[in-house]
Structure 1
């Protein structure tokens, strides 16, 4: 990494994240209120969806989003598939990325950055190889290099390779480019979902489906992710 990128990463990136996220929260406060009210009316409470995600150095934090799915369950009390619970309104929030707005508070707190590898599920993290997990050596971002180069319409391998490419060349110029490209993508509503799927496929499910791991390995790593999450909750 060049010295300019190093100075930006160490001394400028965090203050810039704080200032820009604070300004965005203030300017977009009417949007926050309107979306929150619509979520309450159409999907009920809670308005904010909270989920544990791995952050810097794989430290697990709580990420905030606007809720996009109902809590519909079957006769056994199990949640129905995502495709059933994802409403038309929820799809609208996702296609416009309005569901991501509460992550600005994660940025303000310091859990996230404006630009960085997207925070994946803890379940996804355990399926990554050692090199891929290096993506957690920087703070996760509201948007990232992979998001402006295909988002959910590229393979997991491509996505993770783009994350590694980003962390090896962090610079002010690249972050500004990613932010500008993100704005264009949001207005065009591009690459929101994987072709043929309502929601993005988990890494473990992808590896199992493509026969890159067997069922025993899959079950073992899923159990590992559950143990990691149970430590957070206890």
Structure 2
């Protein structure tokens, strides 16, 4: 309950500058990438329950001759990379924090299709609300292997505390400034999880 109160208080405390920045980013996304400016996708939340996650759009709609969307590395523009490296694409996710679907700190929400691929240990990441940032994000972000990422997520579940959350929030700002771990080696973002930690 205290964690939930802190989440809401923190978001409301910075609501005015956040609203201004969100509106500014939305304008640039509309100009650079077109509409819709918000990317919405269903993700698993607490106990694996689905919720709608919101982010600013960071990819174009570029398609091949058959009309199929191109791979991420071809659709992720320089502007989109800037949004991701600065985590500005995550600003709409604060609405999910207010709603209670997400927390400021917790394991990042992944894809619904991954749920049946988890081991029992990996599935424990859903014992807490997903977060805008987390222990895995400050310890490598997308540069981690899936096995390392899940191990760090479960470590957070086992060791979570108010002080750990404050530490993660502080180190997240440091990571964003340094632009560490934005993508996996050889990938535009993160390679697809296929099960068994690979």
TM over 0.5: yes
2:14 counterpart SS class: helix
Matched positions, count: 198
Structure 2 equivalent of residue 214 of structure 1: none
Q: 1:134 aligns with which of 98, 108, 124?
A: 124
Which consecutive aligned stretches of 4+ in structure 1 deviate over 6 angstroms post-superposition?
none
Distance 1:81 1:65, change over 3 A: same
Structure 2 equivalent of residue 111 of structure 1: 101
Find the aligned partners of 1:33 and 1:162 in 2 and give their Cα distance: 34
Structure 2 equivalent of residue 221 of structure 1: none
Shift in Å, 1:26: 2.3
- Greater helix fraction, Structure 1 or Structure 2: 1
Structure 1 equivalent of residue 41 of structure 2: 51
Shift in Å, 1:24: 3.0
Structure 1 residue 71 corresponds to structure 2 residue 71? no
1:49 counterpart SS class: strand
Preserved contact between residue 152 and residue 194 of structure 1 (Cα < 8 Å): yes
Find the aligned partners of 2:115 and 2:95 in 1 and give their Cα distance: 23
Find the aligned partners of 1:25 and 1:196 in 2 and give their Cα distance: 37
Structure 1 residue 29 corresponds to structure 2 residue 25? no
- Please, which moves more after superposition, 68-77 or 174-183? 68-77
Task: Name the larger-Rg structure.
Answer: 1
Structure 1 residue 80 corresponds to structure 2 residue 70? yes
Shift in Å, 1:130: 1.6
Shift in Å, 1:129: 1.0
Point out where structure 2 has 5 or more consecutive residues left out of the alignment.
Answer: none
- Please, which moves more after superposition, 22-31 or 155-164? 22-31
Preserved contact between residue 25 and residue 104 of structure 1 (Cα < 8 Å): no
Preserved contact between residue 7 and residue 98 of structure 2 (Cα < 8 Å): yes
Give the TM-score normalised by structure 2. Answer: 0.95
